[in-house]
Amino acid sequence: MTARICTLAGHFMVPFYRELILSLGAVSASAESINYILGSKEKGKAAVLMVGGAAESLYCKPGTYRIVLKKRKGFVKLALKNGTPLVPVFSFGETDLYDQVANPEGSLLRTAQEFVKKLTGIAFCVPLGRGIMQYSVGIVPMRKPVTTVIGKPLEFERNLDPSNEDIEKLHAEFTKAITELFEEHKSKYIENHENIQLVIE
């Protein structure tokens, strides 16, 4: 299986960084790129898409699990058109790698971040990590484990012209699968898991 990570097109406009992500096999998260991967005659290709994207990164805080999914339905339509199974995947501990400068909704910083995101498609987060020789401040990720769990693929018939009902139905199934995956594994990978809920925006 060859997996291609899909990322924002804006990342390919930054010199040197572009070459780095291309060397890692990343592609644009555009519909055209994803269709190209999924529509390939070669078998064993997968598109890895972080559905929440830039919007989700603004919610990241240690100890929280908040994902942006409710209005994200384009990936479902692409999967239906290509007849490609949707595989729910969840990473525990990812939000613990960095904190970020407080940016509650309505704050001046959050307003500026939303403006930049709308303008460029890239969320301007102010990460708080650790340093190389000390742990108080820096851009190096915290030393926290990240565990990725993979759910059962959602399989369906190919539909070249999916209706809104078809899309809504599969989206609901995917949302349920992600929620069940989280609930099934959270006790293994989250401290005080009884108090932690998956919030879906």
Buried b (16+ CB within 10 A) or exposed e, 188-200: ebbeeeeeeebee
Q: Is the pLDDT of residue 196 over 80?
A: yes
How large is the average pLDDT for residues 1-8?
90
Query: pTM for the full model?
Result: 0.89
Q: How confident is the model at residue 1 (pLDDT cuts 50, 70, 90)?
A: confident
Whole-number Å distance between alpha carbons of 113 and 200:
21
In this predicted structure, the answer to whether residue 81 has a pLDDT above a threshold of 90 is yes
Q: What is the pLDDT of residue 13?
A: 86
Name residues whose C-beta falls within 8 Å of residue 85's C-beta, 6 or more positions apart in sequence: 79, 153, 154, 155, 156
> Does residue 136 carry a pLDDT above 80?
no
User: What pLDDT is attached to residue 55?
Assistant: 87
What does each C-alpha distance from 145 to 92, 95, 96 come to in angstroms?
Answer: 8, 10, 9
